[in-house]
Structure 1
Amino acid sequence: MKKDARYSCYPFMREKASTVDFEIRTDSLTTHIGVALAAVKKETVEVVADDLLAILPMAYHVNGSVRGKLAVTEDDLTWLSDRYDFYVSHVKDEIQNFVLPQGTGAATALHLCRSEAKKSYRVLHKVSEEREVPAILFDYLGLLANVFFVMAVYMNQYAGIAEIPFISKSYPMKKKKENQ
């Protein structure tokens, strides 16, 4: 009997290697970026929407760059770094502390993207224990998580929503001395 493709959601699903876990995780990342893009478009912040449209296919390029041909270049990394610098130039005062992931629908969707990028990075680490992984993929995913963070803060700033600092009870922070 011929196998019916309708019962297979992904051809590598039964592999033991972590590569498939990475591919599934980065597929989730890409899907979350699509959700964030829809939310950003509703809030009509064109610069963020344009950037997400550029990042969206890149997430799939990261996905395929382990099993297939490396599809992330130094130019891609430079572009992403430039976008990070752009957002930081607008939100540098708001990102001096840890903040709670809250705010507009777009900001919270971007915080989910940040979390998914970190999860993708972690699974990529697991893959690297099994096979060689190009260092640029780690750089790209780490930077991508940070870009999503500053984008989220930018979206809240655009909407006039203040960030809520997170004060950890687990990791005490050094207090600034008065009149330094």
Structure 2
Amino acid sequence: MRRPKPDDLREWCYPFIYETRLTCNYEILTDELCCHIGVVLAALPEGCDDIRADLEQLQSLIYNLNGSVRGRNGIFEQDIKWLKGRYSHYQQQTEGRVTGFVLPRGPAPVPQLHLCRCTGKKIVRMLVRLEEEGRRFAETLPRFANVLANFFFVLTVAIKARLNVEEVPYISVNY
């Protein structure tokens, strides 16, 4: 049974909060990611003006990603191209710093960016579930979300390089 809209709007945090479909969960995850980026922006060290500009642009793109399942598509090829370009920019700056798995640690905002990365993966998984549920959306959404998760990782490496913080390798006993 779907809950009715409350008479007192202070008791209603989001118009779709009582939906049983996964669309609302997806929207909450993308909103969470945008909030995580706000935390990262507040903790960015000096000398990261390029990262700040990229994250500020990403917040709007993530809200475009948010509305692209329920509404019109807001993620386009040029957005993916831009994000891949920014990924390559930071990857080139940090070439050779990471050669395997590393532990997700370091000074702020590195841990917060790792949370962004994990939330990005959750968004990809939610898109898989939405598709499984029968929801149709543009192919640009999962492509953008995958690049997004990878982008957050390369930002952690770039920030640690700028702060002269070493990566801590993780050696798996499983693989």
TM over 0.5: yes
Match of 1:32 in 2: 36
Match of 1:23 in 2: 27
CA RMSD of aligned residues (A): 1.2
2:57 to 54, 58, 61: 54
Match of 1:100 in 2: 103
TM-score (norm 1): 0.90
Contact 1:37 1:49 in 2 (8 A): yes
Deviation digits for residues 122-149 of structure 1 (CA, Å, limit 9, x no counterpart):
1111111121122110000000000000
> Which one-letter code corresponds to 1:158 in the other structure?
R
Match of 2:71 in 1: 68
* Superposition deviation, residue 44 in structure 1: 4.1
Deviation digits for residues 36-87 of structure 1 (CA, Å, limit 9, x no counterpart):
11111x4441111111011111111100000011001111110000001001
1:3 to 4, 7, 14: 7
* Superposition deviation, residue 12 in structure 1: 0.8
Counterpart Cα distance in 1 of 2:98 and 2:58? 22
Counterpart Cα distance in 2 of 1:122 and 1:92? 29
Contact 1:58 1:72 in 2 (8 A): yes
Task: Give runs of ≥4 in structure 1 deviating > 4 Å.
Answer: none
Counterpart Cα distance in 2 of 1:29 and 1:162? 26
Query: What percent identity do the matched residue pairs reach?
Result: 40
Moved more, 89-98 or 160-169: 89-98
Deviation digits for residues 71-115 of structure 1 (CA, Å, limit 9, x no counterpart):
011111100000010011011212221111111201111111101
SS at match of 2:109: helix
Counterpart Cα distance in 2 of 1:36 and 1:77? 22
The residue correspondences of 1:140-155 to structure 2 (distance < 5 A) are: 140-155=144-159
Match of 1:125 in 2: 128
> Which one-letter code corresponds to 2:25 in the other structure?
D
Contact 2:73 2:137 in 1 (8 A): no
2:92 to 84, 89, 92: 89
Match of 1:176 in 2: none
TM-score (norm 2): 0.93
Match of 1:112 in 2: 115
How many residues matched? Answer: 169
> Which one-letter code corresponds to 2:100 in the other structure?
N
Counterpart Cα distance in 2 of 1:92 and 1:17? 43
Deviation digits for residues 7-27 of structure 1 (CA, Å, limit 9, x no counterpart):
100111111111111011111
